[in-house]
Structure 1
Amino acid sequence: MRRLFSALAVTGFLLTSLPAVSWAQSLPGFTLFSGVKSENQLPFRLDFGGQTNGWDRYRLRIPAKKMKVAASEFVVSYPNYYKGKFDPKKIEVRVRDKKVPLTEAKWDRENGVIMIYPQEPVPAGTSVEIVLSNVRNPAFGGIYYFNCYTVSPGDAAALRSYMGTWILSVS
């Protein structure tokens, strides 16, 4: 009888603790005093929990309602105090869970910018997920504001349109 109660207790603990771990770094949640209006906060997920100095995968999402025009380029900027590392060869854009072929993905470390160029423009009104795999989180924790901009096809001046901000926490 003791073994049965022990097994039930361990199983109950595991079932209740696992969802908390998986929810720890998903979506913006409830943010106080971020300086970013709630309508500009974009959803995201850190697949491996956002641990300092650890490897991670960032899933940065742009809802369909934000994609008012087609995008021929995605620009992700981050603050100069973010000291993580990105692998440009492990960057993807996904639309409806399908990988979009890219012409190029570049990481400009000095200016804190990731530039992503799809082969074909991503249509307006579609949900987009930018997947940054093989990310090395910074050695020190903190809150990092990643901003998203797009460039429309045929835009001669290459003006960037602000899509929103992902508020990431590394701890």
Structure 2
Amino acid sequence: MARKRRKMVIVDGYNVLRSGSRYVHMRQLPDYTHDTFNRVREALISDVASFAGSEYEAVIVFDAADNSESAGKTEKISGVRIMFSPFGSSADKIIEKLAHDAREKRIETLVVTSDATIQDTVFGGGVDRMSANGFSLEMDSLSEEAALDKEVTVKRKATVQDRIDKDTLAKLKALRDRM
């Protein structure tokens, strides 16, 4: 039996939130508070989990290089590994290292970012790239498909009478009436 090829998607978190068309309406909320900011991040995490499904190992890297309290925390939410870069280290460096390590392990890797420097650094050798807006469009498409799947359909009670042709039904009724 053939082995299934391992795949990984690495998302440049804040870059996608700033550059992706899907998140524009969330960024423009008048109360861009910590709660709103967290909701936007949660939306991205949910989208990445949907995109990854069972096909990809998913990682989102958020840049916390300027946050003196950041220790490079990693957690897993909805099957997605969430990483904050440690103080003094950019998300770019983390993404480049993750992509390099994946390439060394022969893991098919997709990096989602609109940062040209990261794209140029990681592209090639089994690493593909997708822009933040490309990811947004892909997620919009998946959302539309999901909405169509959930579309309300009128369900009728299906009876045997509904599935039998008229001639057979007439014969069965005649048989019943003779009893």
TM-score by length of 1: 0.27
TM-score by length of 2: 0.26
- More strand per residue: 1 or 2? 1
- More helix per residue: 1 or 2? 2
Structure with the bigger RCO (C-alpha within 8 Å, sep 6+) is 1
Rg larger in structure: 2
